[in-house]
Amino acid sequence: MVAFTRRASLAAAGSALPLALERRVSAISEPPPRGVLPLELSRAGVPLVRLLLGGGEFVAAVDTGSPFLIVPAEEDCDAQPPKLSLYGCVAPGDFTTRGGGATREVYGKNVAGRVAWYRSQLRFADASSGAWQPRAAALTFGAADRPLVQESGALLGLIKRTNANATASGVRDADRRPTALAQLGLWPSWATPDEVWPRQSRAAADGGGAREVVAYRLDANSLTLSAAPLLAPTADALPLVDLRRYGDSVEHVAVAADTVVVDGVRLRPSRRPIFVVFDTGLTSVVVSRSLVAEAGLDPAAVRSVAVEVRSERGARRVLRTREVPGVQVVPLDWFDRGGAAEAERPHVIALGMALLGQGALTVDVDAGRADFR
């Protein structure tokens, strides 16, 4: 008796296969799952994506510098200012499944506000047709009050990991919630929510469940989410540095800076490490107050920033911004819990769309590699 492999037996069955099974077999043989989301640019040049939470449509900035999905909340959505109505609105009673207790958050220039946390089904309104679609069965997200939304807008954060294993005194409650990217999965496009989402925890070996997102590529036109690395193993990529080892509460997309050049003048070497953070939620450049003070910079007078970094093989790369109308200065508290003395804590330069709007950022999150071209 001739033995057949499972794949050969399925092929021999031909058209006798049930349609659902044919789709699952096809899903197994396809390339690693990827989903592509079209983006729009805001007037300030920040990438925006359209998404559906429950029955409501929202618009959020795709933000490589934050971890959560945050949308606007109002007591009366009809009273929402027109400038904010672009993002959508959560009114009392719109969502009944809580994602934890409300938290007090501080955004941007020390703007404080309240965030209520809910859980909801998530889909993307304009996902391009393909074999795989990014979705979530029950995603924990935040509904922020007006002061916070006025400061940052709505956000789809792409930071995947937080410092959730730190001590209770070391991490705020909000940082213990699952990040948006950790909750997103890539689902077979043929699968309906009723058919697949109840089985979200099942292994996806038969094509019937979600694949974890481990990498993404972002440019001005699209966001690609992938279940496999996007950078070739042979690529001379930029090695990422996990700033959580210095006390940061989230895993920012960060690389070590070799030298920093401001308006054509190379800054003197610092005794502190300097890290570059890629942050698409910013339009320009943010510099930690510690670096501004050490270098004697006039933030309002800065017009260009260039940072030299090294690739995995030691090649020199220059990350150069477009002309900027000065840089924003912030007193970073990221490393307050790291245990280092103030004089030893890292400096940070966060490069926003003044750099990232010029090309494509690829991040293999789980592999700790990135590239910008």
Residues 238-253: pLDDT tens digits?
999 999 999 998 999 9
Above 70 in pLDDT, residue 83? yes
Which one is predicted more confidently, 129 or 67?
A: 67
Domain positions in the chain are 34-226, 238-372
Residue among 156, 179, 138, 175 at smallest CA distance from 88: 156
User: How confident is residue 55, by pLDDT bands cut at 50, 70 and 90?
Assistant: confident
34-226 matches 238-372 in fold: yes
pLDDT value for 27: 44
The whole-number average pLDDT for the span 329-345 is 83
* Lowest-pLDDT range of 209-213, 234-238, 247-251: 209-213
Which residue, chain included where needed, has tokens 């294993």?
Answer: 165
Q: Which CATH class is domain 238-372?
A: mainly beta
Q: Which CATH number fits domain 34-226: 1.10.3720.10, 2.40.70.10, 3.40.190.10, 3.90.1150.10?
A: 2.40.70.10
In angstroms, what CA-CA distances link 40 with 59, 133, 243? 10, 19, 30
Above 90 in pLDDT, residue 209? no
Which one is predicted more confidently, 148 or 343?
A: 148
- The full DSSP string for 61-94 is EEETT--SEEEEB-S-GGGS-HHHHTT--B-TTS
Which one is predicted more confidently, 90 or 209?
A: 90
In a 13 Å sphere around the CA of 356, the CA atoms on its Cβ side amount to 34
* Lowest-pLDDT range of 26-30, 107-111, 186-190, 244-248: 26-30
Above 80 in pLDDT, residue 354? yes
pLDDT value for 337: 76
d(CA 138, CA 96): 12
Above 90 in pLDDT, residue 324? yes
Instruction: Please report, to the nearest 10 degrees, the dihedral formed by the alpha carbons of residues 364, 368, 372, 373 taken in order.
Output: -60
pLDDT 10s digits, 84-101: 999 999 999 999 899 988
pLDDT value for 100: 86
The whole-number average pLDDT for the span 253-282 is 96
Above 50 in pLDDT, residue 293? yes
d(CA 116, CA 103): 7
pLDDT 10s digits, 139-157: 999 999 999 999 999 999 9
pLDDT 10s digits, 276-288: 999 999 999 999 9
